[in-house]
Amino acid sequence: MKKFLDEDFLLHTKTAQRLYHEFAKDLPIIDYHNHLPPNEIAEDRKFENITQIWLSDDHYKWRAMRTNGIDEAYITGGKSDQEKFEKWAATVPYTLRNPLYHWSHLELQRYFKISDNLSEHNAQEIYEKCSALLQTPDYSVQKLLRMANVEALCTTDDPIDSLEHHQKIKAIGLETKVLPAFRPDNAMNAEDLVTLNAYIAKLEAVSNTTISDYVTYLDALKKRHDYFAQNGCSVSDHGLEQMYAEDYTETEISQIFAKIRANQELSSQEILKFKSAMLFQFAIWDHEKGWVQQYHLGALRNNNTRRLQDIGPNTGWDSIGDFSQAQAISKFLNKLDKENKLAKTILYNLNPADNELMATMIGNFNDGSVAGKVQWGSAWWFLDQKEGMINQLNTLSNMSLVSRFVGMLTDSRSFLSFPRHEYFRRILCNLFGDDIENGELPNDIAWVGKVVQDICYYNAKNYFNF
């Protein structure tokens, strides 16, 4: 019987072990999409305890705790940090076969050299040991990035963000590149006119633009797009239920924007047309600057309105949606391609029923100009687990070129989440190792090792030009 989480964890053959240890293990990390707070990197924050860095923003853990019958007071409520940690520790043994079990113990091993299995019985000991280490200079945020061998990361930033923290990080010469990503979802939020108009007022201020109509709205957003580029941004990102690709005229959008400014309720069709126009315009700007554009599709967000009102968004009330995706994605990408203005593009799906759809859709718009120009992104959110990663890799292998895949990202709010790259790399090496030992791939370790390295690191490095 193998020991849990030993050096050959998830590596079931000698070939898989060789691929991982000789080719993948020591590669740097490029984490091109996450939700890490740049201010904490700029300030080189030291966390007071393990709860603050491990539990304070992790809705994956929060959902597990709620499912385990833990009261909200111990999750997002007013209980002490140690009490919250103890409730999480008591939950961990019940997360067997959930990725949280693997991730949590990987993080304890990699950052704190703790090999014990976390439970309520050793919670206080582990809390004290981790918290003591976190208060030392070697465990500041910048040191944690170095410890994890993070070469570059992209945060997720609203167009009205000042980017002052990115500027400070660049000024201090941090060895990890910390770059912004342009996430304009709030600028398209036509379902909530009060919030959108408040956003437009903030946009006016930061762009020094009087927004009187749709044209000046675009002018203000273009200034912010340019500003992001001046501050090292070369990636955009969108979190959408589905792609928006309705037909519209400029006159229609101008009239819709006038209704927005007058706080006149929009029809569902007007909302779709407005979002379609905005999404297309952002894509045009991305192409002009040579950016990579990312589309995260298929989340059904904020399902629990009572909890949303009590606690707020991004606190664990989201799930997989069953939106129709293919036709709108095809129409949107084709419209850009017809004008030869399709930027490098990554599509992510949250519904596993769309796996084959995504794997074949990308082939429609890979035109040979760039290897893997249009990508199907890594298994995302609820699919970011062993089975989800294997299914994504196998489907991509069968229907496209997995060898051109830009690999893993964390999509995380935690500075301890980077072992997810290790998790992915082990799964990847095990798949190739199995195929070699089964005689389904040649025993050409040098070539297969190179492909593994490309997927883990070099494809992303070349694709994003970081």
Encode pLDDT of 187-214 as tens digits: 999 999 999 999 999 999 999 999 999 9
Average pLDDT, the chain: 98
**CATH 1.10.2020.10 domain position(s) in the chain:** 46-139
The average pLDDT across 356-379 equals 98
pLDDT given at position 395: 98
**What number is the average pLDDT over the span 285-301?**
98
3-state secondary structure of 240: strand
Q: Is the pLDDT of residue 85 over 90?
A: yes
Share of the chain above pLDDT 70, in %: 100
Closest CA to 49 of 113, 141, 135: 135
177-181, 190-194, 285-289, 309-313: segment of lowest average pLDDT: 309-313
Q: What is the mean pLDDT of residues 435-451?
A: 98
Please report, rounded to a whole number, the percentage of residues in the chain having pLDDT higher than 90.
99
**CATH number of the domain at 14-45+149-464, please?**
3.20.20.140
Backbone φ and ψ for 239, nearest 5 degrees, come out as -105, 105
Does 9 have pLDDT greater than 90? yes
- Residue span(s) of the chain under CATH 3.20.20.140 come to 14-45+149-464
Give the per-residue pLDDT at 101. 98
Asked whether the beta carbons of 95 and 64 are under 8 A apart, the reply is yes
Taking the model in full, what pTM does it have? 0.97
Q: Which residues pair with 153 in a beta bridge?
A: 31, 178
Strand partners, 154: 179
What pLDDT, in 10s, does the model give residues 114-170? 999 999 999 999 999 999 999 999 999 999 999 999 999 999 999 999 999 999 999
Collapsed DSSP state (helix, strand, coil) of residue 251: helix
pLDDT-derived band at 401 (thresholds 50, 70, 90) equals very high
Using one digit for the tens of pLDDT, what is the confidence trace for 16-64?
999 999 999 999 999 999 999 999 999 999 999 999 999 998 999 999 9
**Bridge partners, residue 300, by sequence:** 319
Neighbouring-strand partners of residue 294: 237, 346
pLDDT interval class at 385 (50, 70, 90): very high
CA atoms within 13 A on the CB side of 386: 16
Q: How far apart are CA 408 and CA 424, in angstroms?
A: 7
Provide the phi-psi class of 363: left if phi over 0, else alpha when psi is between -120 and 50, else beta: alpha
pLDDT given for residue 107 in this prediction = 98
- CA angle, 317 then 107 then 127, to 5°: 85
Q: How many CA atoms lie within 13 A of 220 on its CB side?
A: 23
- Residues 349, 380: contact at Cβ < 8 Å? yes
Question: Which of 336, 340, 152 is CA-nearest to residue 234?
Answer: 152
Token pair of 25, please? 């293990």
Reported confidence tier of residue 348, pLDDT bands at 50, 70, 90 = very high
Return the minimum-mean-pLDDT range out of 6-15, 195-204, 268-277, 302-311.
302-311
Bridge partners of 152, per DSSP, are 30, 177
Instruction: Please state the rounded mean pLDDT for residues 105-120.
Output: 98
- Spatial CA neighbour of 106 closest among 394, 426, 337, 407: 426
* 243-286 confidence digits (pLDDT tens): 999 999 999 999 999 999 999 999 999 999 999 999 999 999 99
Partners of residue 179 on adjacent β-strands: 154
> What is the secondary structure of 364-422 as a DSSP string?
GS--SSSTTSEEEPPP-GGG-SHHHHHHHHHHHHHHS-GGG--------S-TT-THHHH
Exposure string for 76-88, b = 16+ CB within 10 A, e = fewer: beebebbebbbbb
Determine the Cα–Cα distance for residues 214 and 199; give it in Å rounded to an integer. 14
* pLDDT at site 82: 98
- Domain 46-139, CATH among 1.10.3720.10, 3.40.50.1820, 1.10.2020.10, 3.40.50.300: 1.10.2020.10
- What does the block give as tokens for 70? 């833990």
DSSP string, 75-114: TTSSS-HHHHHHHHHHHGGGGTTSHHHHHHHHHHHHHH--
Encode pLDDT of 67-76 as tens digits.
999 999 999 9
Q: Reduce the secondary structure of 270-318 to three states and give it as a string.
A: HHHHHHHHHHHHHHHHHHHHCCEEEEEECEECCCCHHHHHHHCCCCCCC
Whether residue 1 is predicted with pLDDT greater than 90 in this model: the reply is no
